[in-house]
Amino acid sequence: MRAPALFLCGSVLVSAMTAEAKLRVVTTTQDPAALTRAVGGDRVTVLSLCKGFQDPHFLDPKPSYMLELNKADLVESIGLELEVGYLPTLVSGARNDEIHPGRPGYLDLSQFVTPTEVAGTADRGLGDVHPSGNPHYWLDPENGRRMARGIAARLTQLDPDGKDSYAKNLAAFETALTAKEADWDKRMAPLKGEKIVTFHKSWSYFADRYHLDVVGQVEPKPGIPPSPSHTLELIKLMQAQHVKLIALENFYDRRVPDLIGEKTGAKVVFVPVSVGGEEGVDAYADLFERIIKHFESAGKL
């Protein structure tokens, strides 16, 4: 009777060792988390600090997050000052030298993309500007491809034994993404040149990718709540230019956008802008499927 017990104990030990061997990855948002799971497969465990239904600009740096970072092998950030209000504090308090900027355990994914709207300097009179560029770059699927490649390279650096696995997973992800992109391009083609208004400047990369014309924002300046005077000006602009779409991130209050929609006849597209932002948006491709489905529906009105 002892042999099965010993065999069972041995199996449990092997299983535990395998689990411990996995790379622990902590990401600031769920978008790189989804990409890391796709590329890393069963060689990684991934935790996201900010959920897809939360505003990624603001996160309370809880002590529990520091504990997670203390155990992390790799921290992935969006960068371009998106997490400047909380990530430095968390990294500093985590007591993990390997995840500080400049170390292999810290990966700023913005290095793999070409930012738009680079301001150069931060003038707070212009609102919550990002001097190094607009950080919402994951909303162009080609940037998702670049992010995935950067993640695969860093996972390989940290875990050389997983090189073949990471390469295989990355190739499968890219093949699937290429097919999806062709479908998304076709479905968004009827909206080419469509004038839209957005709430925040989250949509710049998406708009560039699918040739939408962003003519204004509900926010008078990034991060500044809409004022009555700005709202009235925006309504007049939309009426003059026949704007029929308002793109709204689903973590913002929709009362003002809905009011603008009532006054102008525009459709408010209330959708997630990150993986995990709604039920069923679990993978990177799910995010674009959800957004484009809403844009398709609004464009037919």
CATH 3.40.50.150 fits 14-177, yes or no: no
Task: Tell me the whole-structure pTM to 2 decimals.
Answer: 0.89
Q: What is the pLDDT of residue 35?
A: 98
Q: Where along the chain do its domains lie?
A: 14-177, 183-299
pLDDT, tens only, 119-150: 766 554 554 666 889 999 999 999 999 999 99
Q: What is the pLDDT of residue 2?
A: 42
Q: Which fold has domain 183-299?
A: Rossmann fold (3.40.50)
Q: Provide the phi-psi class of 13: left if phi over 0, else alpha when psi is between -120 and 50, else beta.
A: alpha
Q: What is the pLDDT of residue 123?
A: 55
Q: What is the pLDDT of residue 99?
A: 97
Same fold, 14-177 and 183-299: yes
pLDDT, tens only, 69-126: 999 999 999 999 999 999 999 999 999 999 999 999 999 999 999 999 987 665 545 5
